[in-house]
Chain A
């Protein structure tokens, strides 16, 4: 069915085309490195330098202790200390402060009398994520402050000791989370988006007719276009993995050998999808737009790369099951961080195998060599 001499000829033609378009080739390698650097250095979920305003109506020593506890925590920057609570509105409106702490006039007196003293935190909720984290820090500081007060008077041991242990990414570093995910995302861009252009380009330039007049079969064209991209994809995975391990010290706990199999399956599946899109669309403008929706966006949003699938609404969660990046991400994170192998990751591998077979079939079918 496949004649290897003809297949080799198609591959050579594709490689030649890529070599002549040296800029594309360079970009295919620069893009992953650039993404790694941006994600690794510039971007973090951590919240630092929370601008805080304090309205201290108490002026007592205890109130000052509380404020210095906030300053000592290192995450808050005191930017204003207005005398009245009515000033808070303006500070939050302008964004001068993100959080305002109000210590009411009875604070010290309540504490002295053994009553529960109250503190108020007002947060700018427009950035809900930052606000939640900032409130979390505030809560922790107030709780600790309270515990210290207690320990000076009563039993210092909390009745239930909640021990927290984090597995797989012990210091909760965000680059350990992002780098393995990035490998998946880059593959989606390179493999899915780039291939979605290749057959459309032949249509647009009219070279499809030339290809059609040759004895090359459908399967040979599809595989001939697939293999060069597969090679680029594998090199890209290797480059970004090594860069992640060297630059960002992401642990690699599993077996490199096992990772190769699922990587090829995932790449073939994604390449097949790209080719199917390409064969179906006929213009590169359209192909790139469809490619965006079908490869990059799901890879970015629905794979669990940044946003946990668990918390999505049901329709979206169901949608993630047809996103191959979801399975590959489980494999990559599993191998990098958990150090697990085929004994755990075989269901994902099988699903990716099915996916690859499906998209390849789709690509061959969508690619009608006959010119109508």
Chain B
């Protein structure tokens, strides 16, 4: 009997919450469409592959060799021709204006000196984007070296390297990034939705109305979070489908493992949203506080920056980050087809973080509303 009352109270609140979301068609639209847009934009934009880098050529030699080297340079697909000139000044201009990120400069006498094994080529790189510059430099070096071996009768290197990449043979960064984007998009959505939904009631004064209703704080929390959890799970399914259909990310693992991980993950992110709401009295504060959390959660998750490259202190910090653990599960299930046995540590961590965050939030919620 009591259990039934409790259930009805929670259901009532959950229904009210869903009504509020569905009554505002704009909000509904953004809750469903925004994650898809985010996935697509993130999926395309977050790429560390380097190709089509704008390149300016200064060929002062005008020889068959210099033309041949230039051709080889662009045939690779890593570099894109944006202009040519004879004067180095034009290269400086193009680099200053950002029209070119790379400059290939072949000095006079390149062909002649090539016969005496003394030819020099200069590659100038715009270092403002240090990542692109590092990778482009390596490609340029390799192209010129290979060209030299073929055309300038350089000795063949005595050791040959054969490379193979497992799990992602074409080394497409997208396959690695898109599953991680799913985790981040879910985190941003669930965190902001819950924190704002609760703070709004406080700001508008309707939280007091809820307090005088027979709802207990525990029921209030469950009734407030469950609808958002459901919304986020629907979103998870939608964006995973988009990832598979649109981006053709391979899915090698078990769906059930992913669903279980998503539920555990949402417990901690919704809990964090609830926790933020207990610290904020206006929605503006809640938005700012959310950002204060979202940025570190995102940056310290291994999403774009490998955890192993961080200083030790930050590596320790990542252990408390639910996003990190979810991304590890997510990527392993998508790309490696890993099973539960390989991932139980991450599951345990997610569960521990989820339970403790939710308990902390519930306690603070109790105190701030009572």
Contact = CB atoms under 8 A, between A and B. Distances in A.
| Same complex origin of A and B | yes
Interface in B79-132: 80, 95-98, 101, 114, 117-132
A237 interface: no
Contact of A42 (B52, B118, B173, B300): B300
A297 B167 CA distance: 30
Nearest to B159: A146
A292 B188 contact: yes
B299 A38 contact: yes
A27 B292 contact: yes
B260 interface: no
Contacts of B295: 31, 34-35, 38
B127 A172 contact: yes
A28 B289 CA distance: 10
A286 B197 CA distance: 11
28 contacts: A24-B288, A27-B288, A42-B314, A44-B310, A118-B159, A119-B161, A123-B166, A129-B173, A132-B135, A149-B159, A162-B140, A164-B137, A164-B141, A165-B123, A166-B127, A167-B126, A169-B130, A172-B134, A201-B283, A201-B284, A285-B27, A288-B192, A293-B38, A308-B129, A311-B132, A337-B128, A338-B96, A340-B96
Nearest to A142: B161
Interface residues of B, number: 117
B31 interface: yes
Interface stretch (A8-16, A46-54, A209-217, A355-363): A46-54
Contacts of B280: 23
Contacts of A289: 27, 30-31, 34, 192
Given A150-B158, A163-B120, A286 B24 contact: yes
A301 B45 contact: yes
Contacts of A41: 311, 314
Contacts of A35: 295
Interface in A142-183: 142-143, 145-147, 149-150, 154-155, 157-170, 172-174, 176-177
A131 B174 CA distance: 13
Contacts of B137: 164, 166
A362 B238 CA distance: 33
Contact of B126 (A111, A168, A193, A194): A168
Contacts of A284: 196, 200, 283-284, 287
B185 to A, nearest CB: 10
Interface stretch (A133-141, A220-228, A255-263, A265-273): A133-141
A160 B119 contact: yes
A301 B42 contact: yes
Interface of B: 24, 26-27, 30-31, 34, 37-38, 41-42, 44-54, 80, 95-98, 101, 114, 117-135, 137-138, 140-142, 144-145, 147-148, 152-176, 188, 192-193, 196-197, 200, 203-204, 280-285, 287-289, 291-292, 295-296, 299-300, 304-306, 308-311, 314, 331, 335-336, 338, 342
A53 B301 CA distance: 26
A280 B171 CA distance: 44
B118 A157 contact: yes
A293 B30 CA distance: 9
Given A21-B284, A48-B308, A284-B284, A128 B168 contact: yes
A334 B98 CA distance: 9
A308 B314 contact: no
A249 to B, nearest CB: 15
A27 B295 CA distance: 13
Given A177-B131, A293-B37, A162 B160 contact: no
Nearest to B193: A285
A286 B34 CA distance: 11
Contacts of A46: 309
A43 B161 contact: no
A170 B283 CA distance: 44
A218 interface: no
Closest 4 CB pairs of A and B: A169-B127, A125-B165, A125-B168, A128-B173
A362 B129 CA distance: 34
Contacts of A130: 306
A195 to B, nearest CB: 10
Contacts of A189: 291
B128 A288 contact: no
B46 A307 contact: yes
Contacts of A124: 165-167
A87 interface: no
A121 B283 contact: no
Given A24-B284, A124-B167, A172-B130, A162 B141 contact: yes
A312 interface: yes
Contact of A161 (B44, B121, B287): B121
Contacts of B117: 155, 157-159
A353 interface: no
Contacts of A170: 127
Nearest to B54: A310
Interface in A193-213: 193-194, 197, 201, 204-205
A302 B41 contact: yes
User: Counting chain B CB atoms within 10 Å of each CB, which of A133, A135, A311 scores highest?
Assistant: A311
Given A142-B161, A161-B120, A161-B121, 17 more contacts: A21-B282, A27-B288, A30-B292, A41-B314, A126-B331, A126-B335, A131-B168, A132-B48, A142-B159, A154-B155, A160-B152, A162-B145, A164-B125, A165-B122, A174-B131, A311-B132, A344-B96
Given A24-B284, A149-B158, A177-B128, A205 B204 contact: yes
B130 to A, nearest CB: 4
Contact of B49 (A42, A118, A128, A281): A128
Nearest to A23: B285
